[in-house]
Homo-oligomer: A and B are copies of this chain.
Amino acid sequence: MTPQDIDAFFASRDALITDQYIELEFTFECAGDPRAAAAHLASEQSTAQWQRIGVAEDFRPQFAARVLSLVSSPRPAGFSVPVPAAPAGAVHACRAVIAHPHGNFGPRLPNLISAVLGEGVFFAPGIPLIRLEDIRFPASYLAAFEGPQFGVQGVRDQLQVYGRPLFFGVIKPNIGLPPEPFAQLGFEGWMGGLDVAKDDEMLADAPYSPLATRAALLGDARRRAEVATGVPKGYLANITDEVDALHALHDTAVAAGATMVMVNTMPVGLSGVRALRRHARVPLVTHFPFIASFSRLPLHGVHSRVITRLQRLAGADVIIMPGFGDRMMTPEHEVMENVQACLEPMGHLKPSLPVPGGSDSAATLEGVYRRIGSVDFGFVPGRGVFGHPMGPRGGAASLRQAWDAIAQGIPVREYAQQYAELRAALR
Protein backbone atom coordinates (compact mmCIF):
# COMPACT_ATOMS: atom_id res chain seq x y z
CA MET A 1 0.00 0.00 0.00
CA THR A 2 1.09 3.56 -0.65
CA PRO A 3 1.17 6.04 2.24
CA GLN A 4 -2.04 7.54 0.79
CA ASP A 5 -3.70 4.12 0.73
CA ILE A 6 -2.68 3.52 4.32
CA ASP A 7 -4.14 6.89 5.32
CA ALA A 8 -7.41 6.00 3.60
CA PHE A 9 -7.95 3.17 6.12
CA PHE A 10 -7.66 5.50 9.12
CA ALA A 11 -10.46 7.74 10.32
CA SER A 12 -11.55 9.58 13.42
CA ARG A 13 -14.82 8.52 15.00
CA ASP A 14 -16.17 12.05 14.44
CA ALA A 15 -15.82 11.62 10.69
CA LEU A 16 -18.00 8.49 10.61
CA ILE A 17 -21.73 7.96 10.97
CA THR A 18 -21.11 5.71 13.95
CA ASP A 19 -24.51 4.05 13.78
CA GLN A 20 -23.36 2.39 10.55
CA TYR A 21 -20.33 0.73 12.14
CA ILE A 22 -19.62 -1.98 14.63
CA GLU A 23 -16.45 -1.43 16.64
CA LEU A 24 -13.80 -4.08 17.05
CA GLU A 25 -10.97 -4.01 19.53
CA PHE A 26 -7.95 -6.05 18.52
CA THR A 27 -4.60 -6.75 20.09
CA PHE A 28 -1.94 -8.06 17.73
CA GLU A 29 1.77 -8.51 17.17
CA CYS A 30 3.04 -7.56 13.74
CA ALA A 31 6.25 -7.62 11.75
CA GLY A 32 7.05 -4.36 9.99
CA ASP A 33 5.34 -0.98 10.22
CA PRO A 34 2.40 -1.12 12.67
CA ARG A 35 0.50 1.55 10.77
CA ALA A 36 0.73 -0.43 7.54
CA ALA A 37 -0.28 -3.61 9.38
CA ALA A 38 -3.35 -1.92 10.88
CA ALA A 39 -4.34 -0.55 7.47
CA HIS A 40 -4.02 -4.03 5.96
CA LEU A 41 -6.09 -5.43 8.81
CA ALA A 42 -8.88 -2.96 8.02
CA SER A 43 -8.57 -3.46 4.28
CA GLU A 44 -8.48 -7.25 4.26
CA GLN A 45 -11.57 -7.55 6.45
CA SER A 46 -13.54 -5.23 4.15
CA THR A 47 -12.64 -4.10 0.63
CA ALA A 48 -9.21 -5.46 -0.15
CA GLN A 49 -9.39 -4.55 -3.84
CA TRP A 50 -11.41 -1.34 -3.93
CA GLN A 51 -11.57 -0.73 -7.66
CA ARG A 52 -11.75 -2.56 -10.93
CA ILE A 53 -8.67 -2.47 -13.11
CA GLY A 54 -8.96 0.49 -15.45
CA VAL A 55 -12.04 1.97 -13.82
CA ALA A 56 -11.92 5.22 -11.86
CA GLU A 57 -13.83 4.21 -8.74
CA ASP A 58 -13.17 3.77 -5.04
CA PHE A 59 -15.31 1.58 -2.80
CA ARG A 60 -13.50 2.64 0.35
CA PRO A 61 -15.62 5.59 1.45
CA GLN A 62 -18.68 3.38 1.87
CA PHE A 63 -17.28 -0.11 2.37
CA ALA A 64 -13.88 0.16 4.04
CA ALA A 65 -13.29 -0.70 7.67
CA ARG A 66 -11.31 2.09 9.35
CA VAL A 67 -8.71 2.20 12.07
CA LEU A 68 -9.97 4.56 14.76
CA SER A 69 -6.99 4.20 17.06
CA LEU A 70 -3.68 2.43 17.12
CA VAL A 71 -1.19 2.11 19.95
CA SER A 72 2.04 0.20 19.40
CA SER A 73 5.19 -0.62 21.28
CA PRO A 74 8.32 -2.32 20.00
CA ARG A 75 9.18 -5.86 21.01
CA PRO A 76 12.92 -6.08 20.44
CA ALA A 77 12.90 -9.77 21.39
CA GLY A 78 10.44 -10.57 18.60
CA PHE A 79 7.10 -12.32 18.80
CA SER A 80 6.15 -13.32 22.31
CA VAL A 81 5.49 -16.92 21.27
CA PRO A 82 7.07 -18.85 18.42
CA VAL A 83 4.78 -18.81 15.40
CA PRO A 84 5.42 -21.23 12.54
CA ALA A 85 5.71 -19.41 9.22
CA ALA A 86 5.72 -15.97 10.88
CA PRO A 87 6.63 -12.99 8.70
CA ALA A 88 10.03 -11.32 9.08
CA GLY A 89 10.64 -7.77 10.30
CA ALA A 90 10.82 -5.67 13.44
CA VAL A 91 8.05 -6.74 15.81
CA HIS A 92 5.54 -4.48 17.56
CA ALA A 93 2.75 -5.25 20.01
CA CYS A 94 -0.35 -3.26 19.08
CA ARG A 95 -3.86 -2.44 20.16
CA ALA A 96 -6.25 -1.13 17.53
CA VAL A 97 -9.89 -0.15 17.43
CA ILE A 98 -11.48 -0.70 14.04
CA ALA A 99 -14.85 0.54 12.82
CA HIS A 100 -16.37 -1.94 10.37
CA PRO A 101 -19.43 -0.92 8.29
CA HIS A 102 -22.15 -3.43 9.13
CA GLY A 103 -23.90 -2.82 5.85
CA ASN A 104 -21.20 -5.01 4.33
CA PHE A 105 -22.67 -8.11 5.95
CA GLY A 106 -25.99 -7.23 7.59
CA PRO A 107 -27.66 -8.63 10.72
CA ARG A 108 -26.68 -12.24 10.05
CA LEU A 109 -24.42 -14.03 12.51
CA PRO A 110 -22.47 -16.17 10.01
CA ASN A 111 -21.69 -13.14 7.86
CA LEU A 112 -20.79 -11.05 10.89
CA ILE A 113 -18.40 -13.78 12.05
CA SER A 114 -16.93 -14.15 8.56
CA ALA A 115 -16.15 -10.44 8.47
CA VAL A 116 -14.75 -9.92 11.94
CA LEU A 117 -13.10 -13.30 12.52
CA GLY A 118 -12.38 -14.39 8.98
CA GLU A 119 -9.53 -14.59 6.51
CA GLY A 120 -9.13 -10.83 6.54
CA VAL A 121 -8.38 -10.81 10.26
CA PHE A 122 -6.25 -13.93 10.65
CA PHE A 123 -4.33 -13.56 7.39
CA ALA A 124 -3.71 -9.82 7.31
CA PRO A 125 -0.19 -9.27 5.99
CA GLY A 126 2.39 -8.97 8.74
CA ILE A 127 0.06 -10.06 11.55
CA PRO A 128 0.55 -13.67 12.65
CA LEU A 129 -0.78 -13.13 16.19
CA ILE A 130 -4.09 -11.39 16.68
CA ARG A 131 -6.95 -11.54 19.14
CA LEU A 132 -10.38 -10.02 18.90
CA GLU A 133 -10.72 -8.59 22.40
CA ASP A 134 -14.15 -7.04 22.21
CA ILE A 135 -16.99 -6.10 19.90
CA ARG A 136 -19.51 -3.28 20.26
CA PHE A 137 -22.71 -2.93 18.27
CA PRO A 138 -24.68 0.25 17.57
CA ALA A 139 -28.40 0.28 18.36
CA SER A 140 -29.24 0.21 14.65
CA TYR A 141 -27.54 -3.17 14.32
CA LEU A 142 -28.92 -4.62 17.54
CA ALA A 143 -32.42 -3.62 16.44
CA ALA A 144 -32.43 -6.43 13.88
CA PHE A 145 -31.86 -9.10 16.54
CA GLU A 146 -34.43 -10.66 18.82
CA GLY A 147 -32.09 -11.27 21.75
CA PRO A 148 -33.19 -13.30 24.77
CA GLN A 149 -36.89 -14.13 24.82
CA PHE A 150 -37.17 -14.40 28.61
CA GLY A 151 -33.99 -12.91 30.02
CA VAL A 152 -33.13 -12.89 33.71
CA GLN A 153 -36.55 -11.64 34.76
CA GLY A 154 -38.41 -14.17 32.63
CA VAL A 155 -36.39 -17.05 34.02
CA ARG A 156 -37.03 -15.82 37.57
CA ASP A 157 -40.75 -15.49 36.85
CA GLN A 158 -40.86 -19.03 35.48
CA LEU A 159 -39.29 -20.40 38.65
CA GLN A 160 -40.76 -17.82 41.01
CA VAL A 161 -37.34 -17.25 42.51
CA TYR A 162 -36.35 -13.73 43.44
CA GLY A 163 -33.62 -12.18 45.51
CA ARG A 164 -31.21 -15.09 45.38
CA PRO A 165 -29.11 -17.01 42.85
CA LEU A 166 -30.78 -19.78 40.87
CA PHE A 167 -29.60 -23.26 41.82
CA PHE A 168 -28.95 -25.61 38.94
CA GLY A 169 -27.55 -29.10 39.29
CA VAL A 170 -26.00 -31.28 36.58
CA ILE A 171 -27.33 -34.80 37.06
CA LYS A 172 -24.42 -37.24 37.46
CA PRO A 173 -23.37 -39.84 36.41
CA ASN A 174 -23.69 -37.75 33.26
CA ILE A 175 -23.05 -40.55 30.79
CA GLY A 176 -24.36 -44.09 30.87
CA LEU A 177 -27.24 -43.90 33.33
CA PRO A 178 -30.63 -45.04 31.93
CA PRO A 179 -33.59 -42.61 32.16
CA GLU A 180 -35.35 -44.20 35.15
CA PRO A 181 -32.56 -43.86 37.73
CA PHE A 182 -31.54 -40.60 36.07
CA ALA A 183 -35.01 -39.15 36.71
CA GLN A 184 -34.90 -40.43 40.26
CA LEU A 185 -31.68 -38.49 40.84
CA GLY A 186 -33.33 -35.37 39.47
CA PHE A 187 -36.24 -35.88 41.81
CA GLU A 188 -33.93 -36.15 44.78
CA GLY A 189 -32.14 -32.98 43.73
CA TRP A 190 -35.40 -31.02 43.48
CA MET A 191 -36.56 -32.35 46.83
CA GLY A 192 -33.32 -31.17 48.38
CA GLY A 193 -33.84 -27.66 47.02
CA LEU A 194 -32.55 -27.45 43.43
CA ASP A 195 -34.44 -25.05 41.22
CA VAL A 196 -33.35 -26.73 38.02
CA ALA A 197 -32.02 -30.23 37.41
CA LYS A 198 -30.18 -30.40 34.14
CA ASP A 199 -28.67 -32.79 31.65
CA ASP A 200 -24.93 -32.71 31.21
CA GLU A 201 -23.84 -30.98 28.02
CA MET A 202 -22.48 -34.30 26.72
CA LEU A 203 -25.71 -36.21 27.28
CA ALA A 204 -27.37 -36.44 23.89
CA ASP A 205 -30.40 -38.20 22.51
CA ALA A 206 -28.54 -41.48 23.02
CA PRO A 207 -29.80 -45.05 22.56
CA TYR A 208 -29.31 -45.79 26.28
CA SER A 209 -31.16 -42.57 27.17
CA PRO A 210 -33.51 -41.40 24.39
CA LEU A 211 -34.51 -37.78 24.90
CA ALA A 212 -38.23 -38.51 24.60
CA THR A 213 -38.11 -41.12 27.39
CA ARG A 214 -35.78 -39.09 29.56
CA ALA A 215 -37.82 -35.90 29.23
CA ALA A 216 -41.06 -37.73 29.98
CA LEU A 217 -39.65 -39.31 33.14
CA LEU A 218 -37.98 -36.10 34.27
CA GLY A 219 -41.14 -34.15 33.48
CA ASP A 220 -43.15 -36.51 35.64
CA ALA A 221 -40.60 -36.40 38.46
CA ARG A 222 -40.50 -32.62 38.23
CA ARG A 223 -44.26 -32.34 38.64
CA ARG A 224 -44.16 -34.69 41.61
CA ALA A 225 -41.45 -32.57 43.18
CA GLU A 226 -43.53 -29.44 42.61
CA VAL A 227 -46.49 -31.01 44.37
CA ALA A 228 -44.31 -32.20 47.23
CA THR A 229 -42.48 -28.90 47.70
CA GLY A 230 -45.14 -26.45 46.61
CA VAL A 231 -42.72 -24.47 44.41
CA PRO A 232 -41.97 -24.51 40.66
CA LYS A 233 -39.14 -26.80 39.56
CA GLY A 234 -37.26 -26.79 36.27
CA TYR A 235 -35.90 -29.55 34.07
CA LEU A 236 -33.30 -28.41 31.56
CA ALA A 237 -33.03 -30.87 28.68
CA ASN A 238 -29.86 -30.88 26.58
CA ILE A 239 -31.14 -31.04 23.00
CA THR A 240 -27.74 -30.47 21.37
CA ASP A 241 -27.94 -32.30 18.06
CA GLU A 242 -27.75 -31.61 14.32
CA VAL A 243 -29.30 -28.22 13.59
CA ASP A 244 -32.08 -29.68 11.49
CA ALA A 245 -33.18 -31.83 14.45
CA LEU A 246 -33.29 -29.07 17.07
CA HIS A 247 -36.80 -27.79 16.61
CA ALA A 248 -38.35 -31.26 16.79
CA LEU A 249 -36.24 -32.15 19.83
CA HIS A 250 -37.33 -28.91 21.49
CA ASP A 251 -40.95 -29.83 20.87
CA THR A 252 -40.45 -33.37 22.15
CA ALA A 253 -38.67 -32.25 25.30
CA VAL A 254 -41.10 -29.45 26.11
CA ALA A 255 -44.19 -31.57 25.46
CA ALA A 256 -42.81 -34.17 27.87
CA GLY A 257 -42.11 -31.70 30.65
CA ALA A 258 -38.81 -29.93 30.08
CA THR A 259 -39.06 -26.30 31.15
CA MET A 260 -35.82 -25.15 29.51
CA VAL A 261 -33.68 -26.46 26.66
CA MET A 262 -29.91 -26.35 26.28
CA VAL A 263 -27.60 -26.39 23.27
CA ASN A 264 -23.83 -26.26 23.04
CA THR A 265 -23.19 -23.02 21.20
CA MET A 266 -20.07 -23.56 19.12
CA PRO A 267 -20.79 -27.22 18.28
CA VAL A 268 -24.29 -26.28 17.06
CA GLY A 269 -23.24 -22.91 15.66
CA LEU A 270 -24.39 -19.48 16.81
CA SER A 271 -26.80 -19.30 13.90
CA GLY A 272 -28.41 -22.55 14.99
CA VAL A 273 -28.87 -21.01 18.44
CA ARG A 274 -30.57 -18.00 16.89
CA ALA A 275 -32.86 -20.19 14.79
CA LEU A 276 -33.81 -22.17 17.88
CA ARG A 277 -34.51 -18.92 19.75
CA ARG A 278 -37.12 -18.05 17.14
CA HIS A 279 -38.79 -21.41 17.66
CA ALA A 280 -38.41 -21.87 21.40
CA ARG A 281 -41.31 -21.62 23.82
CA VAL A 282 -39.12 -22.01 26.92
CA PRO A 283 -35.88 -20.38 28.09
CA LEU A 284 -32.87 -21.22 25.97
CA VAL A 285 -29.65 -22.15 27.75
CA THR A 286 -26.25 -22.28 26.06
CA HIS A 287 -23.08 -24.11 27.11
CA PHE A 288 -19.40 -23.52 26.39
CA PRO A 289 -17.71 -26.53 24.70
CA PHE A 290 -14.96 -25.62 22.18
CA ILE A 291 -14.63 -21.94 23.19
CA ALA A 292 -11.44 -22.43 25.23
CA SER A 293 -9.69 -23.70 22.08
CA PHE A 294 -9.50 -20.09 20.87
CA SER A 295 -9.96 -18.04 24.04
CA ARG A 296 -7.45 -19.39 26.55
CA LEU A 297 -4.27 -17.81 25.27
CA PRO A 298 -4.13 -14.02 25.54
CA LEU A 299 -1.99 -13.66 22.42
CA HIS A 300 -4.15 -15.12 19.70
CA GLY A 301 -7.75 -15.99 19.04
CA VAL A 302 -10.88 -14.50 20.50
CA HIS A 303 -11.63 -13.19 23.99
CA SER A 304 -14.45 -15.26 25.46
CA ARG A 305 -16.60 -12.18 26.14
CA VAL A 306 -16.99 -11.74 22.38
CA ILE A 307 -18.68 -15.13 22.26
CA THR A 308 -20.77 -14.23 25.30
CA ARG A 309 -22.00 -11.11 23.51
CA LEU A 310 -22.76 -13.14 20.39
CA GLN A 311 -24.70 -15.69 22.43
CA ARG A 312 -26.79 -12.91 23.94
CA LEU A 313 -27.30 -11.50 20.44
CA ALA A 314 -28.40 -14.97 19.31
CA GLY A 315 -30.96 -15.03 22.10
CA ALA A 316 -29.58 -17.15 24.94
CA ASP A 317 -31.61 -16.59 28.12
CA VAL A 318 -29.01 -18.36 30.24
CA ILE A 319 -25.30 -18.57 29.39
CA ILE A 320 -23.20 -21.23 31.10
CA MET A 321 -19.53 -20.23 31.08
CA PRO A 322 -16.25 -21.26 32.73
CA GLY A 323 -16.35 -19.95 36.28
CA PHE A 324 -14.04 -19.07 39.13
CA GLY A 325 -11.48 -21.25 40.80
CA ASP A 326 -8.24 -22.94 39.81
CA ARG A 327 -10.00 -25.83 38.18
CA MET A 328 -11.43 -23.72 35.35
CA MET A 329 -8.07 -22.10 34.45
CA THR A 330 -9.85 -18.83 33.65
CA PRO A 331 -8.57 -15.58 35.15
CA GLU A 332 -11.03 -13.94 37.51
CA HIS A 333 -11.21 -10.78 35.43
CA GLU A 334 -12.24 -12.83 32.40
CA VAL A 335 -15.08 -14.51 34.29
CA MET A 336 -16.23 -11.08 35.44
CA GLU A 337 -16.04 -9.67 31.91
CA ASN A 338 -18.30 -12.47 30.76
CA VAL A 339 -20.73 -11.94 33.62
CA GLN A 340 -20.89 -8.25 32.78
CA ALA A 341 -21.42 -8.99 29.08
CA CYS A 342 -24.55 -10.89 30.10
CA LEU A 343 -25.96 -8.22 32.38
CA GLU A 344 -24.86 -4.80 31.13
CA PRO A 345 -27.07 -2.70 28.81
CA MET A 346 -27.08 -3.90 25.18
CA GLY A 347 -29.62 -1.92 23.17
CA HIS A 348 -33.10 -3.38 23.53
CA LEU A 349 -31.76 -6.87 24.32
CA LYS A 350 -32.76 -8.40 27.62
CA PRO A 351 -29.96 -9.50 29.94
CA SER A 352 -28.93 -13.16 29.91
CA LEU A 353 -28.49 -14.98 33.20
CA PRO A 354 -24.77 -15.73 33.66
CA VAL A 355 -23.93 -19.16 35.06
CA PRO A 356 -20.21 -19.37 35.80
CA GLY A 357 -19.61 -23.05 36.42
CA GLY A 358 -17.04 -25.70 37.09
CA SER A 359 -16.49 -27.87 40.15
CA ASP A 360 -18.73 -25.84 42.40
CA SER A 361 -20.37 -26.90 45.63
CA ALA A 362 -21.79 -25.35 48.79
CA ALA A 363 -18.18 -24.62 49.70
CA THR A 364 -17.66 -22.26 46.74
CA LEU A 365 -21.04 -20.47 46.71
CA GLU A 366 -20.06 -17.56 48.91
CA GLY A 367 -16.92 -16.85 46.91
CA VAL A 368 -18.86 -16.80 43.66
CA TYR A 369 -21.52 -14.54 45.12
CA ARG A 370 -18.98 -12.11 46.61
CA ARG A 371 -17.07 -11.84 43.34
CA ILE A 372 -20.18 -11.26 41.23
CA GLY A 373 -21.62 -8.86 43.79
CA SER A 374 -25.20 -9.58 42.78
CA VAL A 375 -27.79 -12.35 43.10
CA ASP A 376 -28.35 -12.39 39.35
CA PHE A 377 -26.45 -15.52 38.52
CA GLY A 378 -26.99 -19.23 38.28
CA PHE A 379 -24.94 -21.69 40.32
CA VAL A 380 -24.40 -25.05 38.69
CA PRO A 381 -22.64 -27.82 40.63
CA GLY A 382 -22.48 -31.32 39.23
CA ARG A 383 -20.61 -33.60 41.58
CA GLY A 384 -21.17 -30.93 44.28
CA VAL A 385 -24.79 -32.07 44.34
CA PHE A 386 -24.84 -35.53 42.76
CA GLY A 387 -21.55 -36.66 44.26
CA HIS A 388 -22.45 -35.41 47.75
CA PRO A 389 -21.86 -38.15 50.33
CA MET A 390 -25.50 -37.88 51.45
CA GLY A 391 -26.77 -38.15 47.90
CA PRO A 392 -28.35 -35.48 45.66
CA ARG A 393 -30.99 -34.53 48.20
CA GLY A 394 -28.26 -33.80 50.68
CA GLY A 395 -26.14 -32.08 48.05
CA ALA A 396 -28.95 -29.78 47.00
CA ALA A 397 -29.84 -29.07 50.61
CA SER A 398 -26.24 -28.09 51.29
CA LEU A 399 -26.47 -25.36 48.62
CA ARG A 400 -29.62 -23.92 50.09
CA GLN A 401 -28.15 -24.04 53.60
CA ALA A 402 -25.04 -22.23 52.39
CA TRP A 403 -27.21 -19.57 50.81
CA ASP A 404 -29.34 -19.24 53.94
CA ALA A 405 -26.17 -18.56 55.90
CA ILE A 406 -24.97 -15.97 53.40
CA ALA A 407 -28.38 -14.27 53.27
CA GLN A 408 -28.50 -14.08 57.05
CA GLY A 409 -24.95 -12.84 57.33
CA ILE A 410 -23.84 -15.88 59.28
CA PRO A 411 -20.44 -17.41 58.41
CA VAL A 412 -21.14 -20.52 56.33
CA ARG A 413 -18.75 -22.60 58.43
CA GLU A 414 -20.53 -21.57 61.60
CA TYR A 415 -23.97 -22.25 60.10
CA ALA A 416 -22.75 -25.72 59.10
CA GLN A 417 -22.57 -26.75 62.73
CA GLN A 418 -26.37 -27.07 62.67
CA TYR A 419 -26.67 -28.77 59.26
CA ALA A 420 -25.18 -32.15 58.43
CA GLU A 421 -25.54 -31.68 54.66
CA LEU A 422 -23.64 -28.42 54.66
CA ARG A 423 -21.06 -29.84 57.03
CA ALA A 424 -20.46 -32.76 54.69
CA ALA A 425 -20.17 -30.45 51.69
CA LEU A 426 -17.52 -28.35 53.40
CA ARG A 427 -15.45 -31.39 54.26
Contact = CB atoms under 8 A, between A and B. Distances in A.
Interface in A115-153: 115, 117-120, 122-123, 125, 128-129
A256 interface: no
Contact of A177 (B52, B103, B185): B52
A369 interface: no
Contacts of A175: 46-47, 59, 63, 104
A299 B108 CA distance: 32
A267 B118 CA distance: 9
A221 to B, nearest CB: 15
Interface in A261-302: 263-264, 266-272, 274-275, 278, 287-290, 292-294, 296-302
Contact of A243 (B264, B271, B294): B271
A328 interface: yes
Contacts of A105: 202, 204, 206
A87 to B, nearest CB: 6
Nearest to A110: B267
Interface size class of A (residues with CB under 8 A): 35 or more
Given A113-B267, A175-B59, A294 B301 contact: yes
A87 B181 contact: no
Contacts of A289: 113-114, 117-119
Interface stretch (A19-27, A78-86, A398-406, A407-415): A78-86
Contact of A388 (B53, B84, B123, B185): B53
A300 B290 contact: no
When all copies of this chain in the complex are counted, the total is 2
Interface in A289-342: 289-290, 292-294, 296-302, 322, 326-331, 334
A63 B119 contact: no
Residue with the greatest number of chain B CB neighbours at <10 A, chosen from A86, A122, A207, A270: A122
Given A47-B173, A49-B172, A110-B264, A331 B387 contact: no
A242 interface: yes
Interface in A89-109: 103-106, 108-109
Contacts of A330: 84-85
Contacts of A120: 202
A329 B128 contact: yes
Residue with the greatest number of chain B CB neighbours at <10 A, chosen from A176, A240, A263: A176
A278 B245 CA distance: 13
A16 interface: no
A168 interface: no
A32 interface: no
Given A123-B329, A329-B86, A115 B275 contact: no
A222 interface: no
A118 B272 contact: no
Contacts of A81: 81, 297, 299
Residue with the greatest number of chain B CB neighbours at <10 A, chosen from A53, A87, A110, A390: A110
A120 to B, nearest CB: 7
A391 interface: yes
Contacts of A242: 108-110, 271, 274-275
A105 B62 CA distance: 47
A367 interface: no
A299 B119 CA distance: 21
A52 B176 CA distance: 11
Interface string A38-78: 00000001111111111000010011000000000000000
Given A111-B267, A202-B115, A243-B243, A52 B84 contact: no
